[in-house]
């Protein structure tokens, strides 16, 4: 019995042993029994600290991202102010780019950008959605896994490699076989007339389609996999085949995700420069045929920025960057509005 504890009087009832705080401090920590709820309180306190740390990191990252975005926009607007002061908004609808005569117009470049993007989407969206539906719903697992890996590898190929492949491999094939074939098709001949030279709006659209195809396939497959199982079972209960279930239940149910995939792919196609510059021909004219060479905002920036000789010309090229940034922002904003309208109306996933 410790010396600082008084012994009980003779005949007195025995009371529980009480220990002073000094004696409790002498007990090793490993032999102490924590009070009920202490461990839970410590756990909650640690989680609150972790939550505050995560919130701080999240807001710090968001602040840094916003600061970088604002700095980028301000620097581009400052650098292009001379161009807009010289050309004004007529830069958007003037079709002549003649630096020696101080005439700058982006109309042909905007038209080329929109046309090549449209060609790429016309080719990539049906193929991409069909491939995603095949991989997610119809293909056996032993085949779906390697095909998915292959598509991911295509997405990792650098733009310059795809452009070089288009220049060395696809250009002679298009000039000798593909473009002459389209010139003979009765209805398509309206869009394919003129000499078949290889580098053209059509070839640039095909290269862009190859580049955006993995994005459409990957995101569309994720959207298809997110469709509720009850929708599939309901379609099967009505007697639908596997293809009918995919076409009438799964794809409509994943419409929102597919639209998001197309929006992201469109933004990628609008901003592509290296690959397009290698296969489009880089001719600053409005194309009247898909077989004609042309130019886009990205290809013009790549080809002209290195040879600028005056401050005004440099500012005009940076103005093209601003126009491209605005186009991309409008596409993304339109996609977000479309997704929100779909979500509010209750369509898609």
DSSP string for 194-256: S---S-SHHHHHHHHHHHHHHHHHHHHHHHHHTS-HHHHHHHHHTT--HHHHIIIIIHHHTHH
Here the tokens at position 264 are 């992201």
312 belongs to a structural domain: yes
Is the alpha carbon torsion for 71, 76, 82, 88 positive or negative? Answer: negative
Contact by Cβ (8 Å): 261, 194: no
> If you search the block for the tokens 């452009």, which residue do you land on?
163
DSSP state of 134: I
Looking at residue 43, what is its pLDDT? 64
C-alpha separations of 230 from 227, 233, 235, 249, 253 in Å: 9, 5, 9, 10, 11
Number of domains in the chain: 1
pLDDT confidence of 18, banded at 50, 70, 90?
very low
Residue by residue, DSSP assigns 160-182 as HHHHHHIIIIIHHHIIIIIHHHH
pLDDT confidence of 17, banded at 50, 70, 90?
very low
17 belongs to a structural domain: no
Nearest 10 degrees: CA dihedral of 117, 122, 124, 126?
150
- Which CATH number characterizes residue 292's domain? 1.10.3720.10
Looking at residue 334, what is its pLDDT? 82
323 belongs to a structural domain: yes
Q: What is the pLDDT of residues 104-136, one digit of tens each?
A: 888 899 999 999 999 999 999 999 999 999 988
Looking at residue 50, what is its pLDDT? 64
Looking at residue 46, what is its pLDDT? 57
195 belongs to a structural domain: yes
Looking at residue 175, what is its pLDDT? 87
Looking at residue 122, what is its pLDDT? 94
Can you tell me whether residue 98 is helix, strand or coil? strand
What length is written for the chain?
A: 349
Can you tell me whether residue 294 is helix, strand or coil? strand
Here the tokens at position 25 are 């401090």
Looking at residue 349, what is its pLDDT? 47
Looking at residue 3, what is its pLDDT? 52
67 belongs to a structural domain: no
Q: State how far Cα 311 lies from the chain centre.
A: 34
Q: What is the pLDDT of residues 43-67, one digit of tens each?
A: 666 566 666 777 788 888 889 989 9
pLDDT confidence of 93, banded at 50, 70, 90?
confident
Cβ neighbour number for residue 177 with a 10 Å cutoff: 10
Contact by Cβ (8 Å): 303, 320: no
Separation CA 349–CA 347 (nearest Å): 7
Separation CA 263–CA 326 (nearest Å): 15
Element (H, E) at 90: none
pLDDT confidence of 35, banded at 50, 70, 90?
low
Note the helical H segments in the chain.
21-25, 38-87, 107-133, 141-155, 159-165, 171-173, 179-184, 201-225, 229-237, 242-245, 251-253, 255-271, 274-279, 297-305, 311-345
Separation CA 328–CA 303 (nearest Å): 20
26 belongs to a structural domain: no
C-alpha separations of 6 from 22, 26, 169, 224 in Å: 16, 19, 100, 78
Looking at residue 54, what is its pLDDT? 77
Q: What is the pLDDT of residues 253-311, one digit of tens each?
A: 888 889 889 988 998 898 888 899 999 988 888 888 888 898 999 888 888 877 776 78
Residue 298: partners with Cβ closer than 8 Å, 6 or more residues away: 113, 270, 271, 272, 273, 274, 276, 277, 324
43 belongs to a structural domain: no
147 belongs to a structural domain: yes
C-alpha separations of 333 from 207, 224, 296 in Å: 25, 23, 22
DSSP state of 137: I
Q: What residues make up the domain containing 225?
A: 88-345
The average confidence (pLDDT) of the chain is: 81
Percent of the residues in the chain that have a pLDDT greater than 90, as a whole number? 19
Residue 320: partners with Cβ closer than 8 Å, 6 or more residues away: 106, 109, 297, 300, 301
């Amino acid at each position: 019995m410790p010396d600082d504890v008084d012994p009980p009087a003779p005949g007195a009832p025995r009371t529980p042993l009480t220990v002073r705080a000094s004696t409790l401090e002498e007990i090793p920590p490993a032999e102490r029994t924590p009070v009920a709820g202490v461990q839970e309180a410590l756990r909650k306190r640690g989680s609150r600290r972790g939550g505050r740390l995560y919130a701080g990191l999240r807001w710090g990252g968001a602040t840094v991202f916003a600061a970088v975005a604002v700095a980028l926009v301000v620097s581009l607007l400052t650098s292009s102010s001379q161009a807009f002061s010289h050309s004004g908004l007529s830069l958007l609808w003037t079709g002549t780019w003649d630096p020696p005569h101080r005439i700058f117009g982006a109309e042909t470049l905007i038209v080329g950008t929109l046309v090549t993007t449209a060609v790429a989407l016309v080719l990539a969206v049906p193929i991409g959605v069909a491939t995603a539906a095949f991989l997610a719903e119809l293909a056996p697992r032993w085949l779906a896994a390697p095909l998915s890996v292959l598509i991911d590898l295509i997405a990792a190929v650098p733009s310059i490699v795809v452009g070089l492949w288009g220049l060395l491999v696809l250009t002679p094939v298009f000039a000798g076989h593909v473009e002459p074939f389209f010139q003979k098709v009765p209805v398509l001949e309206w869009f394919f007339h003129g000499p078949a030279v290889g580098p053209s709006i059509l070839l640039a659209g095909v290269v862009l389609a190859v580049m955006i195809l993995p994005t459409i396939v990957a995101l569309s497959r994720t959207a298809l996999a997110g469709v509720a199982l009850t929708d599939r079972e309901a379609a099967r209960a009505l007697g639908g085949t596997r293809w009918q279930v995919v076409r009438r239940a799964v794809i409509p149910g994943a419409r929102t995700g597919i639209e998001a995939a197309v929006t992201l792919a469109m933004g990628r196609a609008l901003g592509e420069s290296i690959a397009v510059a290698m296969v489009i021909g880089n001719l600053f004219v409005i194309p009247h045929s898909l077989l004609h060479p042309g130019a886009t905002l990205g290809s013009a920036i790549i080809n002209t920025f290195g040879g600028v000789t005056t401050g005004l010309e440099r500012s005009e090229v940076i103005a093209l960057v601003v126009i491209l940034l605005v186009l991309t922002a409008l596409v993304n904003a339109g996609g977000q509005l479309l997704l929100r309208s779909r979500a509010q109306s209750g369509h898609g996933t």
